[in-house]
Structure 1
Amino acid sequence: MHKSTEPDLRHHGDSEVRGMGAELTDLAVNVRSGTPPQWLRERIADSLGTLAAYPDGRAARRAVAERHGLPEERVLLTSGAAEAFVLLARAVPARRPVVVHPQFTEPEAALRDAGHSVERVLLDAADGFRFDPRAVPGDADLVIVGNPTNPTSVLHPATTLATLARPGRTLVVDEAFMDAVPGERESLAARTDLPGLVVLRSLTKTWGLAGLRVGYVLASPGTVARLERAQPLWPVSSPALAAAEACSTPEALAEAEEAARGIAVDRAHLQARLAEFEQITVCGPAAGPFLLIRLEGAAAVRSRLRGLGFAVRRGDTFPGLGPDYLRLAVRDRTVTDRFVAALEKALADG
């Protein structure tokens, strides 16, 4: 029987750590360690007294709009950014949808589940996974690209992505990791002049809210209304709405910016330590809270690392990558140094 080599689009980093013991250090999931912070836990806990009432998203929607300097009708709160991909796949007409890979696989999976035939634009490792908009077919009417991109950690110039926008096309930019980039440089979130632009954001990564499920869409009022009609009633819980409102304050944004700058320092340390291994290639330049590395026999190294107490993300489930790739979440210097010691042993045992 022929075995399919098609990547498993439903494999995610949490699969690497599901059921793990306390002794396994998680470098597979790109959620910032030490989160959610105590003040955010308290804000969420305070919302539990309202659970008898149906969720009211007006305050959270207003807070997100103010955070980006946009009118409220351009904001849609969602049950995590992943829900937005499902809404887009179901509610936005598309004759020729294109997904730029390697990237987060849920957009393509959602499109396929909705009955779409999806075309892939594959970026090249030899070119640092840089994006050339000329690779996108001119008649593509739905284009999805991540920025910074998971798993490559590449930050594409906003001016480059903006050239993709045109009447009759929906341009979806997944900015789930943009708040982990100092200054959120290259973000298109505040742009209202680009036709068909849809920007997706997540509160999962920076604030440690993967279990709460909260994100949002920034788009034209017409697109927001179309997506909202595709949502079930009350799709975002009251605790999630409280988190969205809390994470949009100036104080929270300042904390996120400080965290982003710390991540950049920790990422540089991880890169420097990985450079000690001649058999490892670090893809880059990197801008996200994770690194993509390439090494021969990555699957075996990943298995040995697990035996040494570290979970890392396999790369072969991302279209455009192969079995020699691993993704590593950025952690603090102490964790990185422990990981590098384990990596040295895993490579030596090969």
Structure 2
Amino acid sequence: MHTDRQDTGSHDLRHHGDAEVRDDGARLTDLAVNVRADTPPRWLRERIAESLTGLAAYPDGREAREAVAARHGLPAERVLLTAGAAEAFVLLARALRVRQPLVVHPQFTEPEAALRDAGHTVDRLLLREEDGFRLAPDAVPEDADLVVIGNPTNPTSVLHPADTIAQLARPGRTLVVDEAFMDAVPGEREALAGRTDVPGLVVLRSLTKTWGLAGLRIGYVLAAPETIEELERAQPLWPVSTPALAAARACVQPQALAEAAHAAHRIAADRAHLVAGLREFAPDGLRVAEPAEGPFVLVRLPRAAAVRRHLRDLGFAVRRGDTFPGLDEEWLRLAVRDRTTVNSFLQALDQAMVLSQH
């Protein structure tokens, strides 16, 4: 792993998985977007629909904030509701007074994009395939006063030990941990959400991935009260809509948490099935980044750009990897889907790899 202070790179930090399905989504099976399939569930749609009778009033986020706080065993002053985790990255970039931010890559690119848009010069710590894309805490420079890392990390699907991440904490440093996919990990092991013993810790959570609410935009920040106050001052008035607040309350109730826990175990089983199928392509040069712990898998294969185009012709959308700093055009990210979908995808992948040779 190494730190890159000069290269802003040719990576398109604003490219996201939805771009892969935007034009032809109706005919494509989507393995590009990391949102759980067949969501939101009916009961959640009904809860959101019930909130529509209250649209004449301005949104009141107090109940939702209390509900999220209770879910993590925290006081409400440690919670800030946001229009998805992406808004939280913008607030952090604009509100916090930092001199030397560092983003651990490969990871979700929006944190760096938000920091650059706010006028910051951003360092990159590039984790390497040969190290399993795993972090060594001493690789982070001491002068970094804001460090951003995902856990589990998008797109590598690496789940870093919580103790390893906690070692990054320093006096005067803000440690931002993006846990947008943590509820897809059985038992949420290695989670830092709810911890108050790590100085400078800021944890971001999203409700859009597990519950299929990307179009509604709802997430939250967990941090020390003084940090929450700084971020809240940077927010516009009424940033989270009434339907999104209803969703937040619903998704942190015990029944919803139990459903999410069940889904996490199902995702783990479906991911194991996908990885087992992908390993069959090892003789053709395909490598899986393992162990994968998130609801997606990162693979490296020859002629990946051509394979992706042929997969599209065969009806499957996958996420290109070359927009992530630290990766190149040989990488693809695949969202975990049910076994029937995966089996069809593996057959298409076999065809696409053959076609890419011609």
Give the share of equivalent positions with the same residue, in percent: 74
> Which of 179, 185, 193 is 1:175 aligned to?
179
| 1:294-313 Cα shifts (integer Å, max 9, x gaps) | 00110000000000000000
| 1:58-113 Cα shifts (integer Å, max 9, x gaps) | 00000000000000000000000000000000001111100000000000000000
Match of 1:23 in 2: 27
Unaligned runs of 5+ in 1: none
Match of 1:325 in 2: 331
- The aligned amino acid for 2:327 is L
Change (3 A) 1:192 1:240: same
Match of 1:97 in 2: 101
- The aligned amino acid for 2:306 is A
Q: TM-score, normalised by structure 2?
A: 0.96
Deviation (angstroms), 1:5: 5.4
1:21 and 1:285 mapped to 2: Cα distance?
A: 30
Deviation (angstroms), 1:23: 2.3
Deviation (angstroms), 1:21: 4.5
Map 1:294-333; keep pairs closer than 5 Å. Answer: 294-333=300-339
- The aligned amino acid for 1:16 is E
> Which of 260, 267, 278 is 1:274 aligned to?
278
Match of 2:3 in 1: none
2:99 and 2:323 mapped to 1: Cα distance?
A: 26
User: Is 1:32 equivalent to 2:36 in the alignment?
Assistant: yes
| 1:150-200 Cα shifts (integer Å, max 9, x gaps) | 000000000000011121000000000000000000000011011110000
- The aligned amino acid for 2:320 is R
Match of 2:241 in 1: 237
> Which of 184, 191, 213 is 2:188 aligned to?
184
User: Is 1:289 equivalent to 2:270 in the alignment?
Assistant: no
Q: What secondary structure does 2:180 align onto?
A: coil
Deviation (angstroms), 1:6: 1.3
Deviation (angstroms), 1:134: 0.8
| 1:120-158 Cα shifts (integer Å, max 9, x gaps) | 000010111011111110111000000000000000000
Unaligned runs of 5+ in 2: 1-7
User: Is 1:110 equivalent to 2:126 in the alignment?
Assistant: no
Match of 1:337 in 2: 343
2:81 and 2:344 mapped to 1: Cα distance?
A: 39
2:27 and 2:213 mapped to 1: Cα distance?
A: 22
> Which of 254, 264, 268 is 1:264 aligned to?
268
Q: TM-score, normalised by structure 1?
A: 0.98
Match of 1:46 in 2: 50
1:284 and 1:133 mapped to 2: Cα distance?
A: 20
- The aligned amino acid for 1:71 is P
User: How many residues are matched?
Assistant: 347
1:13 and 1:22 mapped to 2: Cα distance?
A: 15
2:133 and 2:290 mapped to 1: Cα distance?
A: 8
User: Is 1:88 equivalent to 2:92 in the alignment?
Assistant: yes
1:141 and 1:6 mapped to 2: Cα distance?
A: 25
- The aligned amino acid for 1:56 is D
- The aligned amino acid for 2:41 is P
> Which of 40, 62, 67 is 1:63 aligned to?
67
2:191 and 2:99 mapped to 1: Cα distance?
A: 27
Which runs of structure 1 show a deviation greater than 2 angstroms over 4 or more consecutive aligned residues? none
1:144 and 1:32 mapped to 2: Cα distance?
A: 24
Q: What secondary structure does 1:206 align onto?
A: coil
2:352 and 2:332 mapped to 1: Cα distance?
A: 14
Q: What secondary structure does 1:98 align onto?
A: strand
Q: Give the RMSD, CA atoms, in angstroms.
A: 0.8
1:137 and 1:113 mapped to 2: Cα distance?
A: 23
Map 1:150-165; keep pairs closer than 5 Å. Answer: 150-165=154-169
Contact 2:9-2:325 within 8 A present in 1 as well: no
- The aligned amino acid for 1:165 is A
2:290 and 2:206 mapped to 1: Cα distance?
A: 23
Q: What secondary structure does 1:251 align onto?
A: helix
- The aligned amino acid for 1:335 is T
Match of 1:145 in 2: 149
